[in-house]
């Protein structure tokens, strides 16, 4: 699994909007400048987030984008699944894929399912408000 720039930028955008939510609607240009993302690319990411009701947009003077909910209600997993379409580690576990012909006898399938569960559970446990903190509690360990 490799998270694309679209997924990584979506997280950065959501954090940026969460940090500036008291300012109301934030113009696209401001977010693009702060995050050093092209406005055109940012528009394509914002479109996905608006269509899925993670953000709301307002056109015209005083317009821009803002979160539709509190930061603690957004998980990293939910944001990445919107932008990446899937977080599956192997193609046979991708949503909508036809069953693999070897699925019944595959010796590695339980391992891949377990890894997918670990990844999804972890990403669903991290919220936007946690990412807003400079040094989240419990994230100071070294391997």
pLDDT tens digits along 93-139: 888 888 888 888 889 999 999 999 999 999 999 999 999 987 766 66
- CATH number for the domain spanning 8: value is 1.10.10.10
Give how many domains the chain has, as a whole number. Answer: 1
Residue 34 resides in a domain: yes
List all residues 6 or more positions away from 37 whose beta carbon is below 8 Å from its beta carbon: 9, 12, 13, 31
Residue 66 resides in a domain: yes
- 69 versus 142: the higher-pLDDT residue is 69
Residue 61 resides in a domain: yes
Which residue range is the domain that position 12 belongs to?
A: 1-86+127-143
Residue 50 resides in a domain: yes
Residue 96 resides in a domain: no
> Which candidate, 123, 132, 130, 124, places its Cα nearest to that of 21?
132
pLDDT tens digits along 26-73: 999 999 999 999 999 999 999 999 999 999 999 988 899 999 999 999
Residue 112 resides in a domain: no
């Amino acid at each position: 699994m490799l998270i694309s720039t679209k997924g990584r930028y979506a997280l950065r955008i959501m954090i940026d909007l969460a940090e500036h939510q008291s300012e109301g609607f934030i113009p696209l240009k401001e977010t693009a400048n702060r995050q050093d993302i092209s406005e055109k690319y940012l528009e394509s990411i914002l479109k996905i987030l608006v269509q899925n009701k993670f953000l709301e947009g307002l056109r015209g003077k005083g317009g821009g984008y803002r979160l539709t909910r509190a930061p603690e209600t957004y998980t990293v997993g939910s944001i990445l699944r919107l932008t990446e379409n899937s977080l599956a580690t192997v193609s046979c576990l991708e949503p909508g894929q036809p069953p693999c012909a070897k699925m019944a006898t595959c010796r590695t399938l339980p391992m891949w399912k377990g890894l997918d569960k670990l990844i999804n559970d972890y990403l669903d446990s991290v919220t936007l408000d946690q990412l807003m903190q400079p040094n989240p509690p419990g994230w100071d360990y070294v391997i």
